[in-house]
Amino acid sequence: MDVTELVLVRHGETEWHAGNRYAGRSDVALTPRGKAHAEELAQWAAGAGLDAILCSPLSRTRATAAPAAAATGLDAVVDDRLIEVDFGAGEGLTRAEMAEEFPEGLAAFLAAPASCPLPGGEPGADAVARARPALDDACRAWPGRVLVVAHQTLLRLLLCDLLGLPLDHYRTVFPRLEPVARTVVVVGGAGPAGLRSLNAAGPAGVPPTEEPRWRR
């Protein structure tokens, strides 16, 4: 059976990162640092032997993927199924603001974030059901190495699904994915995928710049 190495990457820093505002479907722009993150990803991609590049339709992922596409000569294929989880009433808010607006809903989300989404938000299982086929299609179309530029919450849910872990554990097993850091899973054969690396960053695999700490 063909084996595909999926390189899962969160987009670069956005204008909402500093306040740790929940950015789901909102089209939030990259900061200057976020654009620098995209260039760092391109430096890695240039020599990575990629077979394909996929990204979500939101501008922050497309802007992150574009330099890598230019560096490799590949097209960045936009797949609508890779859009971020819908955070419902939590969209654009900080954790503190949610605690004021809907404390019980926030508490339920923090206890079981996939099963109990934020009020009006998308359950984790629904997000996986729409996005996992995008990865499966990519593995069939491009056995080899595929770069997937998407979003922190969606990628953590997909990682749990790929590795056979409970979706409600995504925040504890994967507390944070750093901007443009590479998390690599190998898909193919029987059983769950294999985790090859987590949060590898920079062309040489080490963080090139110090980052602010944020967690959703």
For 11-41, the pLDDT digits (tens) are 999 999 888 899 999 999 999 999 999 999 9
Task: Please state which of the ranges 12-16, 42-46, 165-169, 200-204 shows the lowest mean pLDDT.
Answer: 200-204
| Helices and strands (H and E) in the chain: how many | 7, 6
User: Nearest-5° angle of CA 195, CA 157, CA 136?
Assistant: 70
Average pLDDT (143-148) is 96
With bands split at pLDDT 50, 70 and 90, how would you rate the model's confidence at 202? low
User: Nearest-5° angle of CA 142, CA 148, CA 149?
Assistant: 155
Predicted pLDDT at 2:
83
Sign of CA dihedral 124, 127, 129, 133: negative
Average pLDDT (79-97) is 97
| Ranges of each domain in the chain | 4-200
Q: Residue 129 pLDDT > 60, yes or no?
A: yes
Q: 9 pairs with which residues across the strands?
A: 149, 182
Where does 4-200 sit in CATH, by number? 3.40.50.1240
Q: Residue 215 pLDDT > 80, yes or no?
A: no
The one catalytic residue among 5, 13, 84, 122: 84
Burial 29-41 (b: 16+ CB within 10 A, else e): ebbebbbbbbebb
Q: Residue 214 pLDDT > 60, yes or no?
A: no
Q: 189 by DSSP, 3-state: which?
A: coil
Q: Report the distance separating Cα 126 and Cα 124, nearest Å.
A: 5
Predicted pLDDT at 46:
96
Q: Report the distance separating Cα 147 and Cα 205, nearest Å.
A: 15
| pLDDT tens digit sequence for 162-182 | 999 999 999 999 999 999 999
- Residue predicted with more confidence, 70 or 203: 70
Q: 134 by DSSP, 3-state: which?
A: helix
With bands split at pLDDT 50, 70 and 90, how would you rate the model's confidence at 110? very high
Q: What are phi and psi of 155, to 5 degrees?
A: -65, -40
Question: How large a percentage of the chain has pLDDT more than 70?
Answer: 92
Q: Is 11 a catalytic residue?
A: yes
The one catalytic residue among 5, 11, 13, 17: 11
Predicted pLDDT at 203:
61
Task: Please state, rounded to an integer, the average pLDDT across all residues of the chain.
Answer: 92
